[in-house]
Structure 1
Amino acid sequence: MTALPPRILATQDAEALMQKLTARHGPLMFHQSGGCCDGSAPMCFPRGEFKVGGQDILMGHIGDDIPVWIGAAQFEYWRHTQVTIDVVPGRGAGMSLESPEGVRFIVRSRIFDDDENALLEAAGDPPTGDALVGQTA
């Protein structure tokens, strides 16, 4: 069986910052903003400090333990896109944990090719309903 392409990735620089933030704040989570706060920036929070709701979908995890959520309406636009969280110099306008560090998380993306889309669709990824919507992780 062919492995499914991951929906969410992170660069080495972003992962290094996540490790630093985890050491300072404990387990992390991300929510991909749909336009408020800082455009459509990935917002990093201590896990549990951002309440995911019934309209949020779990895109996947960075590493084994950092969940990345997105609003269902936003996901519909991005469902054919692989998202990579990166970090760049500068300060975002949001309340994301990296703000005091003088950097900000951003997303880079690419469109899945036809074969990858077919694999994801055949696997029912992401599952609909309660499998991924509004669960705390």
Structure 2
Amino acid sequence: MTTLPPRVATTAAADEWIARLTKAHGPLMFHQSGGCCDGSAPMCFVAGEFRVGGQDVLLGHIAGDTPVWIGAAQFEYWRHTQVTIDVVPGRGAGMSLEAPEGVRFIVRSRVFSDEEAALLEQAGEPRRGDA
């Protein structure tokens, strides 16, 4: 069986911050919206604090079991890319848990190769919220 390429990944720096925030707050979740400015940054919440629904797509899990969701409309734009969550110095303007810490999560991405895209297409659509 061929392994599917992950739709979402993290950098080592992001993993460190996720572990730190998990220790302070408990289980986490991420949501990637399609807004502008800071609205396009991945937002980190305590698990369950952001309600996902039928218009959200589960990209996958990072740092063990932390789910990463994306708005369905944004997923349509990004479905051919692998999303990598990273962290950089600076303060975002959102409600994300890392904001008071002087860092912010950002997204980096790369386009899947033709082979990866074919594997993902064969696997079918990712799960939607409320499913």
Whether TM exceeds 0.5 here: the answer is yes
Q: 2:41: which partner in 1?
A: 41
Structure 2 CA distance for partners of 1:125 and 1:63, relative to 1, 3 Å: farther
Contact 1:37–1:94 at 8 Å: present in 2 too? Answer: no
* Unaligned ranges ≥5, structure 2: none
Distance in 1, matches of 2:29 and 2:60, equals 11
**Equivalent position amino acid for 2:63 in 1:** G
1:120 aligned to 2:120? yes
Native 8 Å contact 1:57 1:134 kept in 2 = yes
User: Post-superposition, which runs of at least 4 consecutive aligned residues in structure 1 deviate over 3 A?
Assistant: none
- Taking the aligned partners of 1:63 and 1:100, their CA distance within structure 2 comes to 21
Equivalent residues of 1:85, 1:107 under 8 A apart? yes
TM-score, normalised with respect to structure 1 = 0.91
Query: What is the aligned-residue RMSD (CA, Å)?
Result: 1.4
Name structure 1 gaps, 5 residues minimum: 127-131
Structure 2 counterpart of 1:107: 107
Paired amino acid for 1:134: G
- Classify 1:84/1:43 alpha carbon distance in 2 versus 1 (closer, same or farther; 3 Å): same
CA–CA distance in 2 between the matches of 1:21 and 1:68?
15
Q: Is the 8 A contact 2:39 2:94 kept in 1?
A: no
Letter in 1 for 2:67: P
- Number of matched residues? 131
Matched residue, 2:55? 55
Measure, in 2, the Cα distance between the counterparts of 1:114 and 1:104: 32
TM-score, length-normalised on structure 2?
0.95
1:133 and 2:100 are equivalent in the alignment: no
